[in-house]
Structure 1
């Protein structure tokens, strides 16, 4: 039985080692910025270990090297820059520098609204990236049936306020795909609730339902389970608000497209 215990210990140690290596690899692509808290290690030189926070100018003060600019560099490039400084200054012959990001404060975006995991996400870290689709994937994607197709991104570009609406399914369209927006530090991503329509009267399942893209009256009725035995197509009316907020009562065709907020009423047949 001893060999089984030894095997279990070896597997557990291997698993923890793999997790540690993957975590370090995941941070290598992260771009350092102001506010990030980092820990610097130099192999076999514990006196050069340092905990530092990158200041607003993107710099830190490091032993032997003085002020070093790390902001705007990936973790991997920052490690190489420190190693080169120690080597070129004749402080160490073959320095091996590692940087661990203890607290990410820079290069973050906020994802809010109808996504599975709303929160703040780092750009360019691990399996993530800088594009809208990549960050939404980290947030678990848009809630099925609960979120709208239009994703709103706000932030700043060149010091000016920035706002863009993206028809997200078009990013993956076979023809004329939309731009997969490249995000920037501080961007906010908002996914609103899907627009709703309301059905009542002689239908099987009256009540609110999500308005799907290009949904027709016939499709809306089908989603509501169809007409009851007492319902009649000739008695269908749609109540719709115009631009001035005035409710209009329409007699629609079954192939007419529905609009957000439409109220569909199916009358009872008099025969």
Structure 2
């Protein structure tokens, strides 16, 4: 395993205004990559961009975008083309969850979650993947979750969206296997970010909280292996919890997840 340099490449990171997205931006900039920072909160992006530029001498471009709007991926690609920016690495990090019975969730919130967690990921990936493959120096990284490995009562839509992300990314890793592009889905457990503020309860945090730097480092280590795996789970305990549902009866898996999430 060797420490990769991304100097001379550009990484687009969604959800870059805080948490995992901010940490991805910091670690990629540290390794020489220019970064395109995408989120809704432009003020935070501008502050982070200035910090990264002064600290690492790279180019950092803040771009405000609401990924809940249909067509956001194509719009970002078009705007970057107008600015003359070509992306070699795409990090699909933006996403959010909610906690509670599905029948009690606001329909608009469900629609927005699917748009951000699923549709935007697919749109962005389709918009940029041909260029990523043609260049081959970077990576396609999507942030899934340990919630992707079993149904998640009380977080039914969130778990389903992350199962989509995991499945899509692993399939694309196979489709692009003959190219030098590295494709990876990284699945963290609970992370110390603003995620649970948005969810509205700490009851959704099952297990010990990780720091964003640990999760991003796990993704980097997987990318830097001689043969990048299609997916990785960050943290030994999380890997064991993701593996366990494969060997247990489905009814038991559901009951266990329901108790853990206080469904």
TM-score scaled to structure 1, two decimals? Answer: 0.21
Structure with the largest fraction of helix = 2
TM-score scaled by length of structure 2:
0.21
- Where is the strand percentage greater, Structure 1 or Structure 2? 1
Q: Which has the higher contact order (CA 8 A, sep 6+)?
A: 2
| Structure whose alpha-carbon radius of gyration is higher | 1
